[in-house]
Amino acid sequence: MHKMKFFQSVQFRLVMIYLLLILVAMQVIGAYFVRELEGQLEKNFQDSIKNSMTLLDYNVREEILKNGDNSAQMQTDIRELLVDYARNNSSLLEVRIVDERGKILGTSNMDNQGVVGQKSTTPLVKRALSLGTSEDKIYMDESNDNKRVWVTVSPIKNKNKVIGAIYLAASIESVYSQVDSITNIFITGTLIAMGITAILGILLSRTITKPIIDMKRQAYAMARGNYTRKVKVYGLDEIGELAQSFNSLTKRVQEAQAMTEGERRKLSSVLSYMTDGVIATDRRGKVILINSPAEKMLRVAHETANGKPLTEVLGVQDEYEFEDLMDMTEPLTMDRSTVERYVLRANLSVIQRETGFVNGVIAVLHDITDQEKVDQERRDFVSNVSHELRTPLTSMHSYLEALSDGAWEDKEIAPHFLEVTQNETERMIRLVNDLLKLSRMDGGREHLDKSFVNFTDFFNHIIDRFEMMKKDSIKFKRYIPRTPVIIEIDEDKVMQVLDNIISNANKYSPDGGQISFFLKKTADQIEISISDEGLGIPEEDLDKVFDRFFRVDKARSREMGGTGLGLAIAREVIEAHGGRIWAESNKRKGTTVKFTLPYSDLPEDDWE
In sequence order, the 6+-apart residues with CB closer than 8 A to the CB of 563 are 388, 427, 430, 431, 434, 549
* Domain contains 191: no
CB-count exposure of residue 494 (10 Å: 0-12, 13-18, 19+): buried
Name the pLDDT band for 555 (thresholds 50, 70, 90): very low
Same domain, yes or no: 142 and 17: yes
DSSP reduced 3-state for 519: strand
Contact assessment for residue 572 and residue 438, using Cβ atoms and an 8 Å cutoff:
yes
Sign of CA dihedral 25, 26, 29, 35: negative
Please say which residue of 425, 442, 459 terminates a domain: 442
What's the confidence (pLDDT) of residue 69?
A: 56
In the listed set 218, 253, 271, which residue is the last one of a domain according to the structure? 271
Report the length, in residues, of the chain.
608
Give 382's pLDDT tier (boundaries 50, 70, 90).
low
First to last CA, the chain: 96
Q: Tell me the pLDDT of the chain averaged across its residues.
A: 79
* Top-confidence residue, 82 or 553: 82
Residues with Cβ within 8 Å of 178's Cβ and at least 6 positions away in sequence, in order, are 41
Calculate what percentage of the chain has a pLDDT beyond 70: 85
Give me the percent of the chain exceeding a pLDDT of 90: 6
Structural domain including 383 reads 373-442
Does residue 248 share a domain with residue 301?
no
Statement to judge: residues 484 and 579 lie in one domain: yes
One-letter-per-residue 3-state SS of 126-175: HHHHHHCCCEEEEEEEHHHCCEEEEEEEEEEEECCEEEEEEEEEEECHHH
Please report, for residues 96, 428, 449, 487, the alpha-carbon distance to residue 493 in angstroms, rounded to integers and kept in the order given.
Answer: 157, 21, 9, 14
Residues 527 and 584 in one domain: yes
428 and 528 fall within a common domain? no
* pLDDT tens column, 219-262: 777 777 776 777 777 666 667 777 778 788 778 887 887 888 78
Residue 553 has pLDDT above 60, yes or no: no
Vertex 34 angle, CA 30 and 40, to 5°: 145
Greatest mean pLDDT among 192-206, 269-283, 460-474 lies in 460-474
Q: Give how far the C-alpha of residue 74 lies from the chain's centroid of Cα atoms, to the nearest Å.
A: 107
Percent of the chain as helix, strand, coil, to the nearest 5: 55, 20, 25
Could you tell me if residue 55 is inside a domain?
yes
The residues with which 358 forms a beta bridge, in sequence order, are 352
Q: State the pLDDT at residue 597.
A: 93
pLDDT(605) > 50:
no
Count of structural domains within the chain: 5
Same domain, 377 and 415: yes
Question: Residue 380: its pLDDT value, please?
Answer: 64
In which band, very low, low, confident or very high, does the pLDDT at 66 lie, cut at 50, 70 and 90?
confident
Q: Cα–Cα–Cα angle for 284, 289, 293, nearest 5°?
A: 130
Decide if 153 contacts 122 (C-beta within 8 A). Answer: yes
What integer pLDDT is reported at residue 479 of this predicted model? 92
Phi/psi region, residue 581 (left: phi>0; alpha: psi -120 to 50; beta: rest), is: beta
Question: Do 363 and 380 sit in the same domain of this protein?
Answer: no
pTM over 0.85: no
Among the listed residues 262, 263, 264, 296, the one whose alpha carbon sits nearest the alpha carbon of residue 278:
296
Is 148 contained in some domain?
A: yes
Using CB atoms within 10 Å of the CB of residue 330, give its burial: 0 to 12 exposed, 13 to 18 middle, 19+ buried. Answer: exposed
- The per-residue pLDDT for range 452-461, each reduced to its tens digit, is 999 999 999 9
Q: Are residues 29 and 112 in the same domain?
A: yes
Residue 215 maps to a domain:
no
pLDDT band of 529, cuts 50, 70, 90: very high
Give the model confidence (pLDDT) of 85-104 as tens digits. 888 777 788 888 888 888 88
- What average pLDDT does the segment 120-129 reach? 85
Strand partners, 366: 345
pLDDT at 608: 46
Same domain, 247 and 301: no
Q: End of a domain among 309, 333, 367?
A: 367
**Which of the four pLDDT bands, split at 50, 70 and 90, describes residue 551?**
low
Summarised one tens digit per residue, pLDDT across range 466-477 is 888 777 788 999
